[in-house]
Amino acid sequence: MLKINLSKASLKFLKTLPAKQKQQCALRIQELRKNPTAQDVKKLKGYSYSRCSCGEFRIIFEVQLNTIDVILVEKRNDDRVYKKLNRMT
């Protein structure tokens, strides 16, 4: 199984969520650990990152050798998520 590495930005966002949504995102990240190429995972154009949905949230991550680096977890408002991703890279 892959090791999970959460970025500071994703940890900060997850801490602000209510318990139900936090658990929902945590379960989705655990599922990615088992199968990072699930059917709903899409590769982002122009990046080495992939994305998946978790209810009303979007998870941006990258798979490297034996780790999953969760770069960003954000509300599913697509423009906002990708603008924030551009600022981070």
CATH number reported for the structural domain that contains residue 52 in this entry? 3.30.2310.20
The overall average pLDDT reported for the chain is 90
Question: Which residue type occupies 30?
Answer: Q
Beta strands 57-64 and 67-75 are: antiparallel
Which residue range(s) make up the domain with 9? Answer: 3-88
Instruction: Answer yes or no: is pLDDT of 79 > 90.
Output: no
Express each pLDDT in 50-77 by its tens digit: 999 998 999 999 999 899 999 999 988 7
Cβ-in-10-Å burial (0-12, 13-18, 19+) of 68 comes to buried
Q: Contact at 8 Å (CB) between 41 and 59?
A: no
* Both tokens assigned to 59: 């998870």
* Both tokens assigned to 47: 């990046």
Q: What is the pLDDT of residue 78?
A: 67
Q: How many domains does the chain have?
A: 1
At which residue do the structure tokens 């990152």 appear?
Answer: 49
Average of pLDDT values for 32-46? 91
Distance CA 8, CA 25 (A): 16
